Structure 1
């Protein structure tokens, strides 16, 4: 996933995304994850899937 620092989104858009993806709210706002309270990121979730299935590539 590419990250473009020039792209800005509004707080309304963040709120809407938070409703769609509640486990990614903290990551979207702060860039940090807190798996102990269920706050992850897409990259974190993908890495965990790959660890659970070593043949996933």
Structure 2
């Protein structure tokens, strides 16, 4: 079985999409993505301020 190749931008996009779809608490979603809540809030804030370009920072 091959490893699935991904990059930081794609993972951040997946995080934001999952949040926008709803059904998650931020704590649970951050746990699922193995990031802290502080980081989760940072990604969401960057997305709100700058759109997809904010997720590249």
TM-score, scaled to structure 2: 0.33
> Which structure has the bigger radius of gyration?
1
- When normalised by structure 1's length, the TM-score is 0.33
Higher helix share: 2
